[in-house]
Amino acid sequence: MKIFLDTADLDEIRRAADANLIDGITTNPSLVAKVAGKRDPKEIYLEICEAVDGPVSLEVVGLDRDTMVSEGKKLAAIHENAVVKVPLTEDGLKACRALVSAGTPVNVTLCFSVSQALLAAKAGATFVSPFVGRIDDVSGEGMQLIHQIRQVYDNYGFDTQILAASIRHPMHVVESMLMGSDCCTIPPKVLWQLSKHPLTDRGLEAFLSDWEGLGAKI
């Protein structure tokens, strides 16, 4: 399963990229607003693309097909690894088809149902992003959606990649893997939580204390 980092924070991106732990990045307008200040987001997008060797999702903000296609072309021109993110609306699906036909990879975002995921695949999406955490937030079962999309895509041989999004905690990542998601986009905090286990800390403490008793060096 590919791991993407869900952030526009360059320090966090470099930290994870330096450890060779990520396969790409996803951003959205809210994540960019958190870090941009007065900077032009396009500058930030270029820096992100240069920091990571893998797909970087950059989102359009237009609402109609033609504006999305025009914005998508500009975003795709920023870097060869750019993936254009469009919302799962009627116009977003039309823009997806137009961009994919022109050779631009597309991530269809804000997916909350199997029927939406079906249309994203029919529109030729490279990735579809089901928002697991936001479904859980309204008392739904986000992981069930990943499971069902996997089943539908496998039943009919769709090659759109499932990109589990809106990940809130480590078990969302683990369950995404168990459900057969192709990718999972993870906030930096959750990425580092994945490495933590109290028994690892306790075991290390005991090893070091026993070694200290030897008074030896390696």
Just list the catalytic residues: 85
* Closer of 4 and 153 to ligand E4P (Cβ): 4
Q: Give the 3-state secondary structure of 26-57.
A: ECCHHHHHHHHCCCCHHHHHHHHHHHCCCCEE
- Given 109, 116, 126, 181, the residue binding ligand E4P (CB under 6 A): 109
- Distance CA(20)–CA(87), nearest Å, equals 30
CB of 114 to ligand E4P, least distance (A): 18
CB of 41 to ligand E4P, least distance (A): 14
* Angle between helical axes of 142-156 and 170-178 (0-180°, round to 10): 20
CB of 180 to ligand E4P, least distance (A): 19
The site map against ligand E4P for 115-134 (x = CB under 6 A) is --------------x-x-xx
- Residue 120 CB-half CA count within 13 A: 32
Strands (E), 60-207: 82-87, 106-111, 127-130, 161-164, 183-186
Does 58 participate in binding ligand E4P (rule CB under 6 A)? no
- Given 28, 81, 116, 181, the residue binding ligand E4P (CB under 6 A): 28
- Chain residues that interact with ligand E4P, rule: CB under 6 A: 6, 26, 28, 109, 129, 131, 133-134, 165-166, 185
